[in-house]
Structure 1
Amino acid sequence: MSSDPYEEECDYLFKAVLIGDAAVGKSNLLSRFAGDDFRLDSKPTIGVEFAYRNVKIGDKLIKAQIWDTAGQERFRAITSSYYRGALGALLVYDITRRATFDSIKRWLREIREFGKSDMVVVLVGNKSDLGRSREVSEEEGRNLAEIEDLFFMETSALQNFHVEEAFLHMVTRIYEITMQKNLEAKEIESTVPTLPAGKEMININIDQVTATKQSTCCLN
């Protein structure tokens, strides 16, 4: 087996996206989670980039594929297509810029338009290390998350505060939903009647049979 952790055979591959306005710290959050890296001179994301991180949940190995989408308006049309297949999202705002918090509901509308109905969304108030410049209180973030039925956490990519926890909560919740769906599918499968080998089940549409009888009677 390869020593490269990214080459390990995984049990599940989960795609998730990082979304939010430009310069809220999405790229550095991903750098912290994927490689414990932080760059003060981080450049704006152009289009979309992604990184992997393997996560162990119980005896299962999950490969989390996290897409870092551009927050600039001119890239919105491009990034909307990247919701396809995404099972989770970290929705990020900057606690020192209220405008980025005010944009959250717009981003949520986009998630609900393009994303899966059961997508796991974690609301993240980033840059908690800049508390003196805070424009959005932690209570405001928590209240919005409660109203919108989201998980909430404040983070600092610079100090590596709660970054791991935010991503792991999302991945773990995706895993739980996936397991529940698998269980429900097995339960449905177990209720389907089985026939002896060589036998075939033929479904008859009762409405069609009735209609045929009626039309035949009318010919007499």
Structure 2
Amino acid sequence: MGPSQSLRPLAQCVSRLMSTTTASTSSPAALPKPYPFSKTALTPSLVPATTTPNIPSLTGLKTGKGLMYHIRNTLPTPEKAQLTSTLLSSSHPARARVGDVLQVEMEYAPTRFTGILLGIRRKGMDTSFTVRNIINRTGVEMQVFVNSPHFKGARVIRSVGRKGRKAKGYWMRDSPDKMAKIAGAAAAAAKAAK
């Protein structure tokens, strides 16, 4: 018995394992179609799907068209979207105005911060507002991003009632006597609200 005869069963086994043809033929639809450029390569037949799921078209999103519109409408929670459209809106009747006393609730310390609204920065997903208060004769400001996961909510404790003279209340930083008066009223309003 020569070396070629001893390897023959192994060669037959390998050729069967590496074969691209199927041993059994069950139905003509399941048979693979021959590949036009090779006699040994086989391509599987594609079975058409019977039902298509009702998914909105995302082809525009894959190319980048309408991506920011999609993010702006799907990312914020309904509570935060409602807060942005009412309290932080520029035209809603129940909106917060510069000079209003706001109470902000956060997930982490300080959990509640009461202060005067200095300004609202309306930038879509990056909408934020700045609140200032005087604590132990030191001015403390907090910029709150509305869509932050740490932000719980905000409410107006005391309203100015009319439109302020400026869109931003940063002038209050330079007049500590007016700020102290408003901060004292804010503290009294916060205690009364509890």
TM-score range, shorter chain: under 0.3
Higher relative contact order (CA 8 A, sep 6+): 1
Structure having the higher Rg? 2
